[in-house]
Structures are given as structure tokens and as C-alpha cells.
Structure 1
Amino acid sequence: MVMYDIVPIGVVKSPYLTKEQAPSQGRNKDSEEMVIEIFEEYQKGLGDYREVSHLIVLLWFDQAKRDLLFAKPPYSDQEKPVFTTRSPNRPNPVGFDIGRIISVDSGKIMIAGLDAIDNTPVIDIKPYIPSLDCIPGATEGKSKKSGKN
């Protein structure tokens, strides 16, 4: 098996200190502000994001369990295969959040809408582009029990 290096570009400074404090989805707490601190060697890669309202933030959930192939989503009473869920516990615990930019200054991005706990490594950021990232007509699996996914 070929191994690849993932190098964090920064870290999240979050009010959530434990996994239990963090929401299951960041959008559920869109008013909660936190800071992404980009490491100095990567700060030249930041822009001012004047025309961008949201970022895709890829995180490394370093406290996740990596040996689980089944997870019980909050909307279900049954375990499901991990790759059909958004569980942070998975072989490669990559987190995907879309956060609302509040400000960008001196290598720090003030952002809202993430579910990261304090000191979560950031592995990449990308601008959220609605014309590319929103797929009209896309479907999602819904539980017949709750109607939520």
C-alpha cells in the first residue's frame, strides 16, 4: 500500500473543547464563531476573499476512531456502513465543513458554521462556489422514521 503525507496548513481555534460539545453538523450552529489560524509558511496562499462569503474547510479529525466501518447516524436507530454516513469515525477522518467568512486578517480567518473542536488540524480550504458546489435536483437518503438525514 502506498502511503501519502497530509500536511496541516493551520488549526482551528474553537469554543468546543470536546467532541461532545461540538454540534453534529456545523450549520446547526451557524452563529458560533471560531478562528482558523493558518500557519505562517502557508499565509501567502490566502487572499482577502472580498467576493467570497463561504469556504469549504477540510479538517483532519485527529481524535476520531479510525477502525470503525459502521456508524449509527443521529437520524437512525440502526448502524449503517460508514461510507454512507457523515460520521467522523472512519479510516481516514477527513472532515468537510462549509463555513461563513466573517473576516480575514493576518493569517487568521474568523468563520462561523464549523463543527471542529479546538486545535483540529486544517488540511485545506477552498472557496465555496454556489454555481459549482450546489447541485440542483440532488437527492439524499432520508430516514422514514424522522424525515431527516
Structure 2
Amino acid sequence: MDRDPGEEQVARPLRRRAKPGQLIADREGRAMDDTDLRPGERAIELDPPDDARLRFIGRIRTPFASRADCPRQGRHDGPDCVLELDPVWGGALDGIERFDFADVLYWLDRSRRDLVQQSPKSDGALRGTFALRSPVRPNPIGLSRVRVVRRDGPRLVVRGLDCLDGTPLLDIKPDACSYSPEAPRKAADVAES
């Protein structure tokens, strides 16, 4: 039976085999693979993506081997993680030491891409994918603001990541907040005495 590429699937678990490392657990500790749907979640059948021609510039080394180990949100006082750039990009880090923080973009290569609505707490409450910071996205690009710890050649040690070990690295941008003008105050920002 042919399916329309935009046709939705509703609460029907997809039973394809998980790739190695894709086994996750829900809040109650029950094993789920990345193709299972929680009650009420909706997925769509997708055409193969067009090539965006993204170039991975390296890999990210973290202590997180599985999703069960990985925090939902990185912390600046969390463990040291290493952005390992391919040697050809080592010089692109020149000057990064001047910054305390940087934005890191990465490709969440082990995430599914077809969910429209998700139940992040496995409690049946649904939210749209674009209203979540979930790694499950049509284009699984991760973004973390990290604390720069030190540079070691083509390696940048940082804190604040929430991705799995071996995640492909897309880009690093120094924190530009120091260049942004302060936003004008609004009446709601000032408490009345």
C-alpha cells in the first residue's frame, strides 16, 4: 500500500529494528527503541531528506554513552567535554581562548526525525516538536551554550554539553552577548515599591 509522504501515524508503535546504541528507557525504566511511540504521540512518514551539504568539522567527546546517561540540559558546572576538531580545522580555533562562553552546534545523528507531537514526560501530555528542546526534530541540530575551559591544539575543552559521546560537530561560535546592546527596560521588568 502506497502512503502519502505527509500522512500521519497516530499512536501506532513503529517496530523497525533499533540501530546499535538506540535503546532508551521511558520514565518508568521500560526499554524503548527510538522507533516506539508513546501514547498520543504523532509521527509522519518522511521522504528522504535533500542533502543540506553540511560538513562535520569533528566529533564531540562526552562521558555520556547512552541517552539514559545524558542530561536533559547541560550545566556549566558539569563534566569536561572535548570538541575534537579535524586537524585541518585546528587553526579555526585561534582566538577562542578570549571568550568565556561559546555556542556549539552539533548533529544529533542518533535521533529520530519524524515526530510532530511528543510526550516528553511519558505521561500522555502532548506538545509540538517545535515547542520542545527534545533531540527528536526534523533536522536534529543540537545547540548548547558552553563554558570554554581551555584549548589544546585542535581540541577545545568545554562544560555544558548534553549530547552523546561521538556526536558529529557542526560549528562553534563565540558568545556574542558582549557585543549585544542592553535591551531597554520595560515597565514589567521593574518591580513597584
Category of TM-score, reference length = shorter chain? 0.7 to 0.9
Rg larger for: 2
Which residue of structure 2 aligns with residue 41 of structure 1?
88
Instruction: Pick one of 68, 81, 86 that aligns with 1:20.
Output: 68
Which residue of structure 1 aligns with residue 78 of structure 2?
31
CA contact (8 A) 1:14 1:34 kept: yes
Which residue of structure 2 aligns with residue 144 of structure 1?
none
RMSD: 2.3
CA contact (8 A) 1:30 1:114 kept: no
Distance (Å, rounded) in 1 between the aligned partners of 2:179 and 2:115: 32
Q: Which has the higher contact order (CA 8 A, sep 6+)?
A: 1
Distance 1:110-1:57 versus aligned 2 partners, 3 A rule: same
Distance (Å, rounded) in 2 between the aligned partners of 1:114 and 1:133: 24
- How much has 1:133 moved relative to structure 2? 6.8
Instruction: Pick one of 20, 30, 55 that aligns with 1:7.
Output: 55
TM-score by length of 2: 0.63
TM-score by length of 1: 0.81
Unaligned runs of 5+ in 1: 138-149
Q: Tell me which amino acid in the other structure corresponds to 1:59.
A: Y
Query: 1:78-93 maps to which residues of 2 (within 5 A)?
Result: 78-93=125-140
- How much has 1:51 moved relative to structure 2? 2.2
Which portions of structure 1, spanning 4 or more consecutive aligned residues, are displaced by more than 3 angstroms?
A: 131-137
Distance (Å, rounded) in 1 between the aligned partners of 2:182 and 2:126: 28
Aligned length, in residue pairs = 135
Distance (Å, rounded) in 1 between the aligned partners of 2:110 and 2:137: 11
